[in-house]
Amino acid sequence: MPVYRYACPDCGYTFEQQQKFTDLPVTQCPRCGKQNVYRLVNRVAVAFKGSGWYITDSKSERSNQTDETTRADSEAKQTTTKDATSLTNEQTTQ
């Protein structure tokens, strides 16, 4: 079951509550008893273990070809931009 963190804006108390996904959120602060409690967003602890977590481990030949095509397209756009800039600069100086 997930553990949710809650905070009370009235007294500043923060606490954790283990609940099912189907349980309703906690609404009452256990310290001051007011009904202003809200759920906090937590970071998720994830541990990637074992092989298969590197880019080169799971790529297929097709995806490698796609990467090369994308790289070539990017280089072509950069060259075209440089050429257009140099033409604009030449026209400005004339």
Which pLDDT tens digit goes with each residue over 26-85?
999 999 999 999 999 877 777 777 766 666 666 566 655 555 666 666 676 666 555 555
Identify residue 31 by its one-letter amino acid code: R
Which residue has 């950069």 as its token pair?
Answer: 78
Query: Is residue 39 a contact partner of residue 5, using CB atoms and an 8 Å limit?
Result: yes
| Token pair in block for residue 14 | 């923060």
- What is the rounded distance in angstroms from the CA atom of residue 50 to the CA atom of residue 93? 61
Is this structure's pTM higher than 0.75? no
Which pLDDT tens digit goes with each residue over 19-42?
998 999 999 999 999 999 999 987
